Structure 1
Amino acid sequence: MNDSQGDDTVHQGGCLCGAVRYRTTGKPNDTNICYCTQCQRQSGAPMPAFANFDRDKVELVQGEPGSYRASGTASRQFCANCGSWLFWMQDGGTRISITLGSFDDPSDFPAPDYEIWTEHRIKWLSNIPGVDSYPGDN
């Protein structure tokens, strides 16, 4: 993220159909790529990307997302109307992972700080140069 963005930086995003909209305030704690099989299946992509914020920096401004639990440790939220995946939240956690592609301008965010669950990376993909990689969660 460029240095001109301070704690008052606002990013907005939402689902494909516009039924669910959100707003974040400040810089993300970090950005990442996840290769876990659950993220691959939910997104339909080999490597979904996320910006991670403290929950108190994220505001739902329109609509109410649906929720799904693919594991006993986290919830995945999406638009119940169009199916766009929006959020991943660990039970009892203080942070929320927001799918980078759901932001209005995902190019406002920096390259990923790290890659997780690389043991599930599709074979024809390689490490992102200069990015920390973890075979499981970091």
Structure 2
Amino acid sequence: MTAGTSHSGGCQCGAVRYRAAGELGYPHICHCRMCQKAAGNYFLPLGAVMRTDFALTRGKPKWFRSSDLVRRGFCGDCGTPLFYDIPSAESVNITLGSLDDPDAVRPVMQSNTDRKMSWFHALDALPVEPDAGSSEREEAIAASNHQHPDHDTNHWPFGAQT
């Protein structure tokens, strides 16, 4: 990535959007129990951006103090985890899965691996479900999708004033 890199992202419903200028620092996967619970998943990918290079572009997150040092930002409407924040730090951590292009930032490290799932090494050996093709259920989901697209929009939901 270059210094001119910019990342945008937000929650699933589009109520909270952000922009981060520059390269995201220390992109990593945290396996600690607190991150597992905050993500509702087995780990949480995070990357840091300097506060001076970070801006909310739509809405405001809700915050949960997961410890005396850390607060976690999430969408109050859809619940998407968005930020890991130490208010006294010069940077804020963004959840890498909330980026519009999550493939653009590759983690370089893992942390708190003592809480990493003991069976992760076996994931690539699991059978892979075949692609379902175009079923009625998939078509109905696609036709009624309420998820915000992976890019900034002037208005969301489309046609509404925000």
TM-score, with normalisation over the residues of structure 1? Answer: 0.83
Matched residue, 1:22: 18
Matched, 1:92 2:78: no
Cα deviation, residue 115, structure 1: 0.9
> What is the alpha-carbon distance in structure 2 between the residues aligned to residue 114 and residue 108 of structure 1?
16
Cα deviation, residue 47, structure 1: 1.4
Matched, 1:6 2:33: no
Q: Secondary structure at the match of 2:19?
A: strand
Stretches of structure 2 lacking an aligned partner (at least 5 in a row): 122-162
The structure that is helix-richer by fraction is 2
Runs of 4+ in 1 over 6 A off after TM superposition: none
Cα deviation, residue 125, structure 1: 2.2
1:59 to 55, 59, 68: 55
* Letter in structure 2 aligned against 1:94: E
Is the 1:30–1:53 Cα contact (8 Å) retained in structure 2? Answer: no
What RMSD, in angstroms, separates the aligned Cα atoms of the two structures?
1.1
Q: Secondary structure at the match of 2:120?
A: coil
Q: How much identity, in percent, do the aligned residues show?
A: 36
Is the 1:35–1:115 Cα contact (8 Å) retained in structure 2? Answer: yes
1:28-54: CA deviation from partner (whole Å, max 9, x where unpaired)? 122000011111011111111112111
* Letter in structure 2 aligned against 1:91: P
Cα deviation, residue 18, structure 1: 0.1
How many pairs align?
121
Is the 1:14–1:20 Cα contact (8 Å) retained in structure 2? Answer: yes
Is the 1:11–1:23 Cα contact (8 Å) retained in structure 2? Answer: yes
Matched, 1:101 2:97: yes
Matched, 1:113 2:108: yes
* Letter in structure 2 aligned against 1:31: P
The structure that is strand-richer by fraction is 1
